[in-house]
Copies of this chain bind each other. A is one copy, B any other.
Amino acid sequence: MKWLETDTRNCPVHRTLDLVGEKWSLLILRDAFNGVRRYDDFRRHIGLSEAVLADRLRKLVAAGVLRAVPYREPGSRTRNEYRLTPKGVDLWPVLLALKQWGDAHTGDPDDPAGPALDVHHTACGSPVQVVVRCTGEDAELLTAREVTATPGPGARAAT
């Protein structure tokens, strides 16, 4: 089977995008990785309408990447915080890869101030990096030219 003959709806990229691949969803997750948990904080920081934020939070909880945890401040009603689940934490390389590309390619040449977010290894202070590597013994770093992609065991023919 060739790539063009495969059913694209069965593709893991397609399925991932159906769950979390919407701009506001990804920005909510970005904020969650930066410690944001509360509805009003997401709304104010990302600049979302209540309707869009409520919809995206509901979808992210349904997808199992965020979980709602009730909390109550004195004198207020019970509200929900939104925390990353382990499945959500696994999206970390996606967010970092988006950041890395943005740092490399979307900077303002008239305002070369550097990254808006500095992500570094806590233990040593060095910046972190997303790389693609071989799972073989030498763990070689790879470029797109050094790999081959073929339909795998789960590929289905397009109908």
A94 touching B92 by the CB < 8 A rule? no
From B13, B35, B121, B142, give the contact of A30 (CB < 8 A). Answer: B13
The complex places the Cα of A117 from the Cα of B91 at a distance, in Å, of 19
The complex places the Cα of A91 from the Cα of B122 at a distance, in Å, of 26
- Give how many A residues have a beta carbon under 8 Å from the other chain's beta carbons: 93
Nearest B residue to A22, CB-CB? B23
The complex places the Cα of A93 from the Cα of B128 at a distance, in Å, of 14
From B23, B115, B128, B147, give the contact of A133 (CB < 8 A). Answer: B128
Q: Which residues of B contact A30 (CB under 8 A)?
A: 11, 13-14
From B27, B103, B135, B143, give the contact of A17 (CB < 8 A). Answer: B27
